[in-house]
Structure formats: C-alpha cells, structure tokens
Amino acid sequence: MAVLQLKSHQFRQEREADWRRLSFLLEKVEERGPKSLTDDQLLAIPVLYRSALSSLSVARATSLDQSLVDYLEGLCARAYFVVYGARPRIGQRIAGYFTQGWSARVRSIWKETLVSAAITILAAVVGFMMVAQNPDWFYAMVPADMAGDRGPTASAASLRATLYDTADTEELSAFAAELFSHNAQISLFAFALGFAFCVPTAMLLMSNGVLLGAMIQVFAAKGLGLEFAGWLMIHGVTELLAIILAGAAGFKIGLAVAFPGERTRLDAAAEAGRASGAVMAGVVIMLLLAGLLEGLGRQMITSDAVRYAIGIGSGVIWLAYFYLPRPRGLAPGREEAR
C-alpha cells in the first residue's frame, strides 16, 4: 500500500501542472465562454485533453488510488464536451458569419481600414489636381476601355448624356459584369499581394484612387460634379468600401509578415490570412451587390435625389452593420478552434 501511495504521489507530481492548467481553462470556458480565452489557450485545450486521457489510461492500468482516477475521469469528461461538443450546422455557421463573424473581423482591422481609406482619398485628390493642371494626365490614369467617351475632350452635353440616358438592359448587365470583374481583380490582388510588405497593396489602392479623382475632375470641369457624384454614389459607396476593406486585409497580412513578433513569418502570415479571409468573403458579396446596382439600378434611376439617397443610405447601412455595438456572441473562428 505504501508503494502504491508513493507511485500515485510521484505520478501526480509529474503531471499535475498540466491537469491544473486544463482545469483552469475549462473553468473559464464554462463560466465566460470560449471568447474569454486567447487563441493560444484555445489551441492548448486539445493538447492538454489528450495528455489527461493518457494519464487516465496509465492510472487505470497501474491501479493507482481511486480518488486520482475519479478526478481524471471528471476532468476528461469536462474537456470532452469542450473539444467535441455539438458543432453548429452549416446554416447556423452561415447565420453566425453574417450576424457576428464578418463584422467582428472588419472591426478587428479598423486601423488598417483607416490607412487603406486614407491612401484612396489622398490618391483621389492627387489625381483630381493633376488632371486639373494638365488634362493629358487623364489618359495615363484611366484605361481607354473604361473611360469610353468620358474624357477631357468630351463636351458637357455628351458627359451629361452618359449620366442620364438609359440604355439597353442587356448592355447594362454586360457592363455590370465587366465592372465587377475589374473591381474584383483589384480587391483580390490588393489582398493577395499584401504579403509583400504591403507595397503592392498600397500601389493598387493609389492607382484606383487616382483613377477616381481623374474621372471626378473631368465632370467637375464641365459643371457636372454634383451630378457625377450622385451617378457614382448609387454603387460606388459599396464598391469603394469593398476595395478599401480588401486593402485593409492585405495590410493585415503584410504587417504580420513585416513584424511577426515571436512567431515565424510564415506562422504570422498564416494567422493573419485566416483572420483576413473572413473579411474577403464578405468583400466578394459587397462587389456582387455593387455590380447589381451598377448594371440594374444606376442607369435606370435618373433622379439625383434618389441616387444620393441610395448612396448615402447604403453607406449608413454598411457602417452601422460593421461598427455599431451588438450583443456579444461566439467569436469568429472559435468553433473551429474548439
């Protein structure tokens, strides 16, 4: 009996620190939910659970004291429900993404979003001023297939016609598809190339900004600035916000690569990529909505007041969706970590 007690004491002494840590993490989950844990703590639970199972197996096989076996059985049972508890169905996961996950990820990169927006706005101002000084800059900033007849040499009447004349529905749908493809490429490249220390992402945002500024100046020079803004806002608010968020996601990855901290650059980039991937999934949805507004709504709605109402309204809705406080739920990605 003395020998068994000694073995039980040694066994507990060698492994008790891990058991206590697992119990502490389980208590936090049970009291405050998975969101109370850090990512490292969440990843540690399955490892500690497997270690506790191994200890339980050894304790049973060597007939250690029953109180220790009972303790380990209870600890492993609690850990089992945390690690392998009921997972939400696909519908619940999708609903969770739209109610909590997407907006939470966007809020987590708010600093990068501000930088992305600042670059876009400053580039638009530069593009506007450069074309105002020398209209020839317009052709260096705006691709010919995108500019069409809307250039510095166009008359005010022809520019006004592009804002208010309706076109064939099939042509609008084709234009919407082309615009979606163009902006999707900018967004995806801004995100995917962020790993190169943010430089390509910043350059893409600047090129898109100067293009916007150049287009605005062409219409403003003919006294159609307000009209063009309304024409643009009906889809542009959603579209530009999507591109800005894609740039912010790219910056998130680039900063993780440039400043990995104690992690390797690969691990830091992978972690940032998982966080930014949730943002990019929503960016694609935003671009689809912008494409529909571009092709089916903007030319069919010729009232400036309605155009401004749709543009401002969409901006308010997006900002409220992303940044207004809401009830705390399961943080995005925590189900997977479990």
Per-residue pLDDT of the chain (338 residues; tens, 9 = 90+): 444 454 666 777 888 889 889 999 998 888 887 878 888 888 899 999 999 998 888 888 876 677 788 888 889 988 888 888 756 677 877 888 899 889 999 999 999 999 999 999 999 999 999 999 999 999 999 887 777 778 899 999 988 888 887 655 554 454 555 666 777 788 989 998 998 989 999 999 999 999 999 999 999 999 999 999 998 898 889 999 999 999 999 999 999 999 988 778 888 888 888 879 889 999 989 988 888 887 776 667 888 999 999 999 999 999 999 999 876 544 444 443 33
- 94 and 261 Cβ atoms separated by less than 8 Å: no
Domain ranges in the chain?
2-85, 93-337
To the nearest 10°, report the CA torsion of 155, 152, 162, 288. Answer: 180
The SS3 call for residue 215 is: helix
Q: Phi-psi category of 74—alpha, beta or left, where left has phi over 0 and alpha has psi -120 to 50?
A: alpha
Under 8 Å CB-to-CB from 126, ≥6 apart: which residues? Answer: 209, 210, 213
What's 294's DSSP letter? I
Measure the N-to-C terminal CA separation of the chain; round to a whole number of Å: 41
Residue type, 93: R
Under 8 Å CB-to-CB from 312, ≥6 apart: which residues? Answer: 233, 237
- 60 and 69 Cβ atoms separated by less than 8 Å: yes
pTM reported for the whole predicted model: 0.71
